[in-house]
């Protein structure tokens, strides 16, 4: 048979071919799903749900969809506009060799990058082990007793350390002394964060100023170790001085340097922060990288961010879990220790694996090589007549170049190398793991006068000593735990990584129906560009001309997101949703101030809001006033009116989520916005639920003044096991001047200052969202929204007789997620929502969102990417679990011994000699469909949460704990 086509070949090219790859529901499925829901068409369903008053005036204006190949080709051209020069800039960002085994099996592996934050401990043991390794690594290298996992970047970590100190010390001062020799971006972010809290940042720009400042009154001191200019100060006396003032001493430290330097914990520092970027994460124009924060033991209950701890499971074995969650915003709201939700888990895993792979000896060898090259570089420069300013250095030396500064930097650029111009008349040069002898000789040639003979590395190599002062050389051991001393062959490492990921459930195994989190497809074509060298190996503060590709990516993505949201201006700098909230509220605050209304500081927040909202409001110094919700889950308009009236002179804004966290499109949202505007307040629309809006309605059109987006929800950046994310802040026209700036990165100095260390935040993951928009086009994005709504309504309808949906609009429909009400089951069977969540693990599913926003419920968000088959498999599991509950209700199984209470079941527990439960072994195993169900075996039984917090332990478990 011939296989010819009568039509022109062009017709076989289908630019929309990616859309059905992203959307799991096929056209043929839709009719069936709609009949279950009781609507005639997808369009009719959506029109019956989204209030007519907010429907988009016109479709989004985006480039037409492109195939995966075409989009990659176009992005390749953008990437090619970046120029990857050898970087000697330093300043917190260094070249690093990501070990191939880590690059391929973690950074590029969906088993790691598609996982969610480890709230469900039993299916997250692998990534939590990696995070405990991270915490142990940080503790060991800094010499501190406890560290978290992780912070968003070094600069925000320093700012969090500042507020941690403020909460913890006895000094009543509002002043923090900051050494002028800290990284400039760190100083900038600390200044941004201090201002709204009424904290004073005093910069000490010389040794004299430093000495004088330390004699004054302050609650904290921040110093960089080694300093940004490279010198290494002995801080011991300064720490003592600070302590005599009842103040905390914060050290921003470089982990690689700490393999050779006396760690801050050994000279009694109170808090140590820094980045782990050079442990295997590419520079990526500024992020994502994991930062760390370690502190003294008595500060631990006040620590910001996520902390993994060790507890026990139902069989008495060690088991990891997120510890001290009562500090976090989900529970503590505006009294939380920080607003951090999404952190930097994937980069933290990479950094920890880098330490596991190299081990203490390997790290020390890398550090020694860097330090020795630095000493050689210094010697050669001196021979050329450029004596470094300081005697001490680890990896950075600085030169006073005066008038010649610019021409030196330009000469380096002409040799495809970047060196750092600091304080206008100095040059700093930083070396790293990737530095070669050719690099050293190239650097010498930059500084050599015409005709001057160049030194040779070999001339100095013999007996070269690093420039680390004797008194500051490290003598203590680190990374002594077996995990850092075992997996040093590639085979061993490969198997260790695989063993950990096998313990976890991620999107590569089954759907993760987490409400509010939007666990959709992270397409491989979207992921591929992030490790292209043109995106990965570029320094955030490289000359602007070399960052043209990123500039174009930034510009196009912002334009598209403006289309999607209806806003006038966007900044991609915030590196998580929480940071977007913070930046947005800062913009509102600054706008009020610009109108002479700086006293407006009341932020109204409905009781159903996500915890980051009140936590962010607190960080900008706003007063949170909670407004009620009515019985249907909507904002109570009467209560809102009353609160507006009561606070009318001080009203700054309201923060709403739309569609609401209750999973419904509130009909009166336009009226709500108008009411707040009438009282002089601005409207913040939390954009976490944009997956129900893109192409259908735009917050910037229906009354929102500010939103943040979560590109790691709606726009396909994977969750990475709890980060990285990107949280762009979007504003209407009159707030555009108040978007974040970045003096260090040379981005507009208006605005509210820098909110992230790097001008483009987590720049290296932006290609993911770019690819998604480019391949979907306006129609594909709208279709995704509609199918997300369709799938949520299908699940809600199919489960109606088993688990009623708590909130719906008048016609019974929901938005893109639905809250299943499990509260009545407690009464009839003793079964809780948590039991159902744990039982789902036996059936091979990640639980839906548990007890948010309503305690005792499960919030299900299927997203558009799941197939009908998978939705039905999930529904099947939920129905099977309901049947099990019915057996408990009927008294067939006791309330305290049934498959739900004992879930999840490990293979070991099911196979143990004599079976002693009221239900059969087979029921415990929960194999739903033997033909298609690849059984997931949880590695541990249910984790004891209380034990873990009572006996807080946050480092690697000694092997003895595993022995009976
Ligand atoms: C996820 C989420 C946030 C916080 O975003 P992060 O990126 O995790 O900081 C805020 N609000 C809502 C409603 C969310 O679902």
- Spatial contact of 727 and 575, defined as CB atoms under 8 Å apart: yes
CA distance 155 to 759: 12
The secondary structure of residue 905, as a DSSP letter, is P
- Spatial contact of 527 and 768, defined as CB atoms under 8 Å apart: yes
The rounded Å distance from CA 725 to ligand 1 centre is 10
The rounded Å distance from CA 615 to ligand 1 centre is 12
The rounded Å distance from CA 144 to ligand 1 centre is 31
Phi, psi of 144 (to 5 degrees): -100, 160
Q: Using one digit for the tens of pLDDT, what is the confidence trace for 913-947?
A: 899 999 999 999 997 665 566 789 999 999 998 89
- Spatial contact of 343 and 723, defined as CB atoms under 8 Å apart: yes
Our measurement of the distance from residue 374's CA atom to the centroid of its chain's CA atoms, rounded to an integer in Å, reads 34
Q: Using one digit for the tens of pLDDT, what is the confidence trace for 837-896?
A: 999 999 999 999 999 999 999 999 999 999 999 999 999 999 999 999 999 999 999 999
Q: Using one digit for the tens of pLDDT, what is the confidence trace for 565-585?
A: 999 999 999 999 999 999 999
Task: Tell me which residue has its CA closest to atom 15 in ligand 1.
Answer: 516
The rounded Å distance from CA 693 to ligand 1 centre is 16
pLDDT at 1 over 80: no
Q: What is the mean pLDDT of residues 544-569?
A: 98
Distance between the two ends of the chain, CA-based, in angstroms?
A: 69
Ligand 1 atom nearest to 725, measured from its CA: 7
The rounded Å distance from CA 202 to ligand 1 centre is 33
Residue 365: which residues within 8 A CB-CB, separation 6 or more?
358
Q: Using one digit for the tens of pLDDT, what is the confidence trace for 798-822?
A: 999 999 999 999 999 999 999 999 9
Task: Tell me which residue has its CA closest to atom 6 in ligand 1.
Answer: 577
pLDDT at 529 over 70: yes
Which residue out of 710, 769, 852, 853 has the highest number of ligand 1 atoms within 8 Å of its CB and is therefore the one to mutate?
A: 710
Q: Give, in order, the Cα–Cα distances in Å from 925 to each of 243, 406, 732, 843, 938.
A: 57, 70, 54, 8, 11
**Within 6 Å (CB) of ligand 1, which residues are found?**
341-342, 516, 576-578, 610, 612, 657, 661, 686, 688, 710, 725, 727
- Give rounded-to-5 percent helix, strand, coil for the chain: 45, 15, 45
Q: To the nearest 10°, the Cα dihedral for 681, 682, 686, 687?
A: 160
The rounded Å distance from CA 713 to ligand 1 centre is 9
In this prediction, residue 928 carries a pLDDT of 67
Query: What is the full DSSP assignment across 461-472?
Result: HTT---S--GGG
CA distance 160 to 631: 38
More confident residue, 664 or 933: 664
How many residues make up the chain in this entry? 964
Q: Using one digit for the tens of pLDDT, what is the confidence trace for 311-366?
A: 999 999 999 999 988 888 888 888 888 999 999 999 999 999 999 999 999 999 99
Q: How confident is the model at residue 446 (pLDDT cuts 50, 70, 90)?
A: very high
- Spatial contact of 429 and 443, defined as CB atoms under 8 Å apart: yes
Q: How confident is the model at residue 964 (pLDDT cuts 50, 70, 90)?
A: low
Ligand 1 atom nearest to 712, measured from its CA: 7
Which residue out of 328, 578, 815 has the highest number of ligand 1 atoms within 8 Å of its CB and is therefore the one to mutate?
A: 578
Phi, psi of 33 (to 5 degrees): -65, -40
Per-residue buried b or exposed e for 613-641, using 16+ beta carbons within 10 Å of the residue's own CB:
bbbbbbbbebebbbbebeeebbbbeebbe
The rounded Å distance from CA 579 to ligand 1 centre is 10
CA distance 94 to 88: 8
The rounded Å distance from CA 260 to ligand 1 centre is 39
Q: Using one digit for the tens of pLDDT, what is the confidence trace for 769-780?
A: 999 999 999 999
The rounded Å distance from CA 40 to ligand 1 centre is 34
Sign of the CA dihedral 400, 402, 406, 412? negative
Q: Using one digit for the tens of pLDDT, what is the confidence trace for 606-655?
A: 999 999 999 999 999 999 999 999 988 899 999 999 999 999 999 999 99
Residue 126: which residues within 8 A CB-CB, separation 6 or more?
499, 500, 501, 502, 503, 504, 939
Task: Tell me which residue has its CA closest to atom 5 in ligand 1.
Answer: 577
The rounded Å distance from CA 765 to ligand 1 centre is 18
pLDDT at 2 over 90: no
Query: If you average pLDDT over every residue of the chain, what do you get?
Result: 96
- Spatial contact of 274 and 252, defined as CB atoms under 8 Å apart: yes
In this prediction, residue 930 carries a pLDDT of 58
Task: Tell me which residue has its CA closest to atom 14 in ligand 1.
Answer: 688
Q: How confident is the model at residue 8 (pLDDT cuts 50, 70, 90)?
A: confident
Which residue out of 156, 342, 717, 849 has the highest number of ligand 1 atoms within 8 Å of its CB and is therefore the one to mutate?
A: 342
Q: Kindly report the number of other CB atoms within 10 A of residue 892's CB atom.
A: 12
Q: To the nearest 10°, the Cα dihedral for 364, 368, 370, 372?
A: 180
Which residue out of 518, 685, 686 has the highest number of ligand 1 atoms within 8 Å of its CB and is therefore the one to mutate?
A: 686
Q: How confident is the model at residue 749 (pLDDT cuts 50, 70, 90)?
A: low
In this prediction, residue 929 carries a pLDDT of 65
Q: Give, in order, the Cα–Cα distances in Å from 58 to each of 54, 492, 779, 832.
A: 11, 56, 12, 46
Q: Given the DSSP bridges, would you call strands 569-571 and 602-606 parallel, antiparallel or unpaired? A: unpaired
Cα–Cα–Cα angle for 794, 808, 856, rounded to 5 degrees = 90
Ligand 1 atom nearest to 342, measured from its CA: 8
pLDDT at 597 over 70: yes
């Amino acid at each position: 048979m011939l296989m010819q086509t009568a039509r022109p070949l062009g017709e076989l090219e289908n630019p929309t071919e990616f859309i059905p790859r992203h959307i799991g529901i096929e056209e043929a499925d839709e009719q069936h799903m709609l009949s279950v829901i009781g609507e005639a068409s997808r369009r009719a369903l959506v029109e019956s749900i989204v209030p007519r008053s907010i429907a988009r005036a016109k479709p989004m204006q985006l480039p037409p969809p492109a195939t995966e190949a075409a989009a990659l080709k176009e992005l390749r051209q953008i990437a090619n506009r970046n120029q990857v020069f050898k970087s000697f800039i330093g300043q917190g960002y260094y070249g690093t060799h990501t070990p191939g085994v880590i690059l391929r099996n973690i950074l590029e592996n969906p088993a790691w990058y598609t996982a969610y934050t480890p709230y469900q401990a039993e299916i997250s043991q692998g990534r939590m082990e990696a995070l405990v390794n991270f915490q142990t690594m940080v503790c060991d290298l800094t010499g501190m007793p406890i560290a978290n996992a992780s912070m968003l970047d070094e600069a925000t970590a320093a700012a969090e350390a500042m507020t941690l100190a403020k909460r913890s010390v006895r000094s009543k001062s509002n002043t923090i002394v900051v050494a002028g020799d800290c990284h400039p971006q760190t100083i900038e972010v600390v200044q941004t964060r201090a201002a709204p809290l009424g904290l004073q940042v005093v910069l000490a720009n010389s040794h004299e100023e430093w000495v004088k400042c330390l004699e004054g009154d302050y609650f904290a001191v921040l110093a960089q170790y080694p300093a940004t200019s490279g010198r290494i100060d002995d801080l011991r006396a300064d720490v003592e001085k600070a302590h005599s003032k009842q103040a905390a001493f914060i050290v921003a430290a470089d982990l690689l340097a700490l393999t050779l330097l006396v760690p801050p914990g050994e000279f009694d520092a109170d808090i140590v922060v820094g980045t782990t970027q050079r442990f295997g994460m590419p520079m990526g124009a500024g992020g994502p990288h994991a930062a760390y924060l370690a502190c003294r033991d008595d500060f631990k209950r006040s620590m910001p961010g996520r902390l993994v701890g060790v507890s026990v499971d139902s069989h008495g074995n060690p088991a990891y879990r997120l510890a001290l969650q009562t500090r976090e915003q989900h529970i503590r709201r505006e009294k939380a220790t920080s607003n951090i939700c999404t952190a930097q888990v994937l980069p933290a895993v990479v950094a920890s694996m880098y330490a596991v792979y190299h081990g203490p000896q390997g790290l020390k060898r890398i550090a020694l090589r860097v330090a020795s090259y630095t000493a050689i570089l210094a010697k050669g420069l001196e021979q050329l007549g450029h004596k470094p300013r300081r005697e001490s250095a680890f990896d950075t030396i600085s030169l006073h170049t005066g008038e010649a500064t610019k021409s030196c930097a330009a000469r380096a650029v002409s040799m495809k190398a970047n060196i750092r111009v600091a304080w206008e008349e100095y040059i700093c040069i930083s070396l790293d793991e990737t530095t070669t002898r050719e690099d050293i000789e190239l650097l010498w040639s930059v500084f050599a006068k015409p005709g001057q003979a160049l030194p040779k590395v070999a001339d100095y190599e013999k007996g070269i000593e690093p420039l680390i002062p004797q008194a500051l050389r490290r003598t203590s051991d680190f990374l002594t735990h077996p995990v850092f001393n075992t997996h040093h062959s590639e085979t061993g490492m490969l198997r260790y990584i695989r063993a950990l990921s096998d313990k976890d459930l991620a999107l590569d195994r089954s759907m993760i129906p987490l409400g509010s989190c939007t666990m959709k497809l992270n397409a491989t074509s979207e992921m591929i560009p992030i490790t292209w060298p043109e995106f990965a190996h570029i320094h955030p503060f490289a000359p602007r001309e070399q960052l043209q590709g990123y500039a174009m990516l930034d510009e196009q993505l912002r334009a598209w997101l403006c289309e999607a949201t209806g806003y006038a201006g966007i900044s991609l700098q915030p590196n998580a949703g929480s940071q977007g909230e913070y930046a947005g509220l800062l913009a509102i605050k600054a706008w009020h101030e610009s109108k002479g209304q700086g006293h407006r500081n009341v932020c109204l927040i409905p009781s159903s809001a996500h915890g980051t909202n009140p936590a962010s409001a607190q960080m900008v110094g706003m007063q949170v006033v909670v407004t009620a919700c009515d019985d249907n889950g909507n904002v109570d308009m009467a209560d809102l009116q009353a609160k507006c009236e009561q606070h009318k002179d001080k009203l700054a804004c309201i923060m709403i989520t739309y569609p609401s966290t209750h999973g419904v499109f509130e009909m009166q949202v336009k009226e709500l916005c108008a009411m707040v505007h009438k009282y002089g307040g601005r409207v913040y629309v939390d954009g976490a639920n944009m997956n129900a809006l893109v192409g259908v309605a735009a917050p910037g059109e229906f009354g929102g003044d500010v939103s943040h987006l979560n590109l790691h929800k709606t726009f396909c950046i994977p969750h990475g096991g709890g980060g990285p994310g990107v949280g762009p802040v979007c504003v209407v026209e009159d707030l555009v001047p108040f978007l974040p700036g970045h003096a260090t990165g040379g981005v507009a100095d208006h605005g509210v200052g820098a909110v992230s260390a790097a001008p483009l935040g987590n720049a290296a993951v932006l290609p993911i969202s770019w690819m998604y928009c480019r391949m979907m086009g306006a129609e594909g994005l709208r279709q995704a929204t509609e199918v997300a709504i369709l799938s949520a309504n299908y699940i809600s309808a199919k489960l109606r007789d088993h688990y009623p949906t708590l909130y719906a609009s008048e016609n019974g429909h929901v938005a893109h997620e639905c809250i299943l009400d499990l509260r009545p089951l407690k009464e009839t069977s003793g079964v809780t929502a948590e039991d159902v969540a744990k039982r789902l693990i036996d059936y091979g599913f990640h639980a839906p969102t548990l007890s948010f926003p309503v305690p005792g419920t499960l919030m299900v968000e299927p997203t558009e990417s799941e197939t009908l088959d998978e939705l039905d498999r999930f529904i099947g599991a939920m129905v099977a679990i309901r049947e099990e509950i019915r057996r408990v209700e009927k008294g067939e199984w006791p309330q305290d011994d049934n498959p739900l209470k004992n879930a999840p079941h490990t293979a070991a527990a099911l196979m143990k000699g004599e079976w002693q439960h009221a239900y059969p072994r087979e029921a415990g195993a929960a194999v739903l469909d033997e033909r298609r169900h690849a059984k997931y075996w949880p590695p541990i039984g249910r984790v004891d949460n209380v034990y873990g917090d009572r006996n807080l332990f946050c480092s690697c478990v000694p092997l003895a704990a595993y022995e009976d």
